[in-house]
Amino acid sequence: MEVSRRKFIGSSAAAVLVAGTTARGKVFGAGDRVRICCIGIHGRGGSHINAFCGNEGSQVVALCDVDSKVLERRAEEVKDKTGAQPKIYTDMREVMADDSIDAITIATPNHWHSLAAIWGCKAGKDVYVEKPLSHNVWEGRRLAEAAVKYGRIVQHGTQSRSDAKWMRDIRLMHDGFIGEIHMGKGFTYKSGNRGSIGFAEFKDAPPHLNWTLWQGPAREKPYCDNYVHYNWHWFWEYGNGETGNQLVHQVDVGVWGINSGLPTHVHSAGGRYVNNDQGETPNMQVTTFKYANGRTLLMEVRNAGSYMEEGSLTTGNTFFGAKGYYVQGKGFFDYDHKPIPVDEPEPETAGTFGNFLAAVRSRKPEDVHGNAEEGHISSVHCHLGNISYRLGRSLEFDPKTETFIGDEEANAMLKRDYRPGFEIPEVV
């Protein structure tokens, strides 16, 4: 049966998750609109609001954020766009208990992604969750399990899965268009907006911010201006560095194209260069993955300046096969560097948000562009690279158990310690 509003709000998160729900969602008629709550709406969440307010098949009926100033501003924007006042929530557990909401979108900091999505699945809501799917390997697997167990549509926010050109070209590669793919590369050079974040003091949180809820499953720490609202990306407690921020998009395309599942070997090296600041994560990092089938994937972050590699590309992917290679934005080439023409048209796509709505309506797993399992695999790559970087050594990984082989120190980094009331259970 459904988890009641009183029970969801009054219980600890762990108790609610154990209670569960058998909800499978409504069947949408042709004229029905999917009722959505956007959670975490300062930055990327604004794109969620615009997309779903602008789609005839959806209605933004609620907003949730732990910053009251952000919440008030976005609520006014929704009212201006739609003519209707959305419900507003500070605590997302109240969103989960609201049975007038069909689906949630999550654009919180990374450390909230999996827990919020699991709560949504348990409450019978479909979920669009921003990248990366998880903050660590262990919780991402729990989310993938929850999506299946509760029959929810869960779509990962790496937009390339809904891009028509990528959809066509990845399929061609899988069909052997340039022979067997043996290597892929992804890169992102973001020097223009990745300068020093300086140093900020630890102090009391501003009154408009619920600091307890902002931290959620993370360890209790004092507030710092460098955490809110964007630079949390560069602190391990909340973010996953540039690898889990921008590069996860290129990782997702690389994993999709190389089509080899999880790796068996990872090595990552780099550092935080040029900027003498409070950030903890590397702004230059190179990670190599090796797979059981012998294929290799190389991923590179460089945020402190770059020459223009691959022509004009500063963020993108390349693939190398037995008969030729592929460069994002340029197409297929043979090894004499002559273009290989593609006669096949690109497939139709409604874009990442439109495809999510279509999957919510159809209830067909095959309609999801980047499901929870696929999002988990791509996010795991990011986490493995960061663990290798932080430990300063190569690591051997078992894709079946999703653990490192013979390395207790590395295995301890696959999962975090969750704050009481914000735990993810062993069995979702």
Between CA 268 and CA 251 the distance in angstroms is 14
**How many Cβ atoms from other residues are within 10 Å of residue 25's Cβ?**
17
Residue 18 pLDDT > 90, yes or no? Answer: no
Split at pLDDT 50, 70, 90, the class of 313 is low
Let me know if domain 163-195+238-345+379-405 sits in CATH 3.30.360.10: yes
* φ/ψ (deg, to 5) at 77: -65, -45
How confident is the model at residue 15, as a pLDDT? 39
Q: What SS3 string covers 361-405? A: HHCCHHHCCCEHHHHHHHHHHHHHHHHHHHHCCCEEEECCCCEEC
Name the superfamily (CATH) of residues 5-161+353-371: NAD(P)-binding Rossmann-like Domain (3.40.50.720)
pLDDT tens for residues 197-216? 999 999 999 999 999 999 99
Q: Which residue type is seen at 71?
A: L
Antiparallel, parallel or unpaired: β 181-189 and 103-106: unpaired
Question: Residue 75 phi/psi, 5° resolution?
Answer: -60, -40
| Range(s) within the chain of domains with CATH label 3.40.50.720 | 5-161+353-371
Distances (CA, A) of 270 to 4, 241, 242, 259, 283: 49, 12, 12, 26, 8
Strands 223-224, 324-327: pairing kind:
unpaired
Predicted confidence at residue 309, as pLDDT, reads 53
pLDDT at 53 over 80: yes
Q: State residue 16's pLDDT score.
A: 42
Map the chain to HEC letters: CCCCHHHHHHCCHHHHHHHCCCCCCCCCCCCCCEEEEEECCCCHHHHHHHHHHCCCCEEEEEEECCEHHHHHHHHHHHHHHHCCCCEEECCHHHHHCCCCCCEEEECCCHHHHHHHHHHHHHCCCEEEEECCCCCCHHHHHHHHHHHHHCCCCEEEECHHHHCHHHHHHHHHHHCCECECEEEEEEEEECHHHCCCCCCCCEECCCCCECHHHHHCCCCCCCEECCCCCCHHHHCCCCCCCCCCCCHHHHHHHHHHHHCCCCCCEEEEEEECCCCCCCCCCCCEEEEEEECCCCCEEEEEEECCCCCCCCCCCCEEEEEEECCEEEECCCEEEECCCCEECCCCCCCCCCHHHHHHHHHHHHCCHHHCCCEHHHHHHHHHHHHHHHHHHHHCCCEEEECCCCEECCCHHHHCCCCCCCCCCCCCCCCC
Distance, in Å, from the CA atom of 88 to the CA atom of 109, rounded to the nearest integer, reads 19
Residues of the chain with CATH 3.30.360.10: 163-195+238-345+379-405
**Rounded distance between C-alpha atoms, residue 95 and residue 21, angstroms:** 15
Residue where the block lists tokens 């990552």: 268
User: Is the pLDDT at 14 greater than 60, yes or no?
Assistant: no
Indicate the pTM of the whole model. Answer: 0.94
Dmax of the chain from CA atoms? 67
Length of the chain: 428
Q: Which two tokens stand for residue 186?
A: 């992804």
Per-residue pLDDT tens for 148-206? 999 999 999 999 999 999 999 999 999 999 999 999 999 998 866 688 999 999 999 99
Gap between the Cα atoms of 171 and 177, Å rounded = 9
Query: How high is the pLDDT of residue 29?
Result: 77
Structure tokens at 324: 């030729």
Residue, of 276 and 377, whose pLDDT is higher: 377
Task: Using alpha carbons, select from 280, 272, 231, 248 the residue that is nearest to residue 109.
Answer: 231
